[in-house]
Amino acid sequence: FKQKTAYEIVDCDWSSDVCSSDLTNGALDNVEAISKGTVESGLVSGDVAFWASRGGGPFEGRGPVKKIATVASLYPEAVHLVVRRDSGIKRIQSLAGKRVSLGTERSAVPIVARAILRAYGVDGDGTKYVNEGPLRSAEMLSKSQIDAFFVIAGQIGRAHV
């Protein structure tokens, strides 16, 4: 039995109760796979699913994704902005001109991070951006290679950074 989901491809042998999976790059790839019909279901954050269903945000100009529907909300997620204690960064506006990691490309993190930065008037002002995941971003922050990074994490688990 093989089941494909956009978050992972699960190969299950029910006679031996063994399953294996392969992960995707993130929410945007998952929506793309659902819309193309290459998978039947996938894990996508609520904001990305909302934008996809309405053709907004990163889907603007493409029109609404017709083959997407919400099955369940699994858990809430919070957006975190991580900085060094000695950075002097106390507000979003303090990121202007800094080096910021927006999260892994094709995930929901850069989409949400850029929306937050735009809302605070920070986007496009000489701020330098990189796209790294939380572990690499934490390493870069500890070596002063970046000044801040965004991470989205659910409350059911800890962000291991």
| pLDDT given at position 6 | 47
Give the type of residue at 20.
S
pLDDT tens track, the chain, 161 positions: 445 544 454 555 656 666 555 577 888 888 988 888 887 777 888 889 999 999 998 899 989 998 888 888 888 888 999 999 999 999 999 999 999 999 998 888 999 999 999 999 997 778 999 999 999 999 999 999 999 999 998 765 555 55
55-93 pLDDT tens trace: 998 899 989 998 888 888 888 888 999 999 999 999 999
Annotate 91-121 with b (16+ C-beta within 10 A) or e (fewer).
eeebbbebbbbbbbebbbbbbbbbbbbeeee
Q: What one-character-per-residue DSSP string does 36-105 give?
A: HTS-SB----HHHHHHHHHT-GGGTTT---TT---------EEEEEEE-GGG---SGGGGTTSEEE--ST
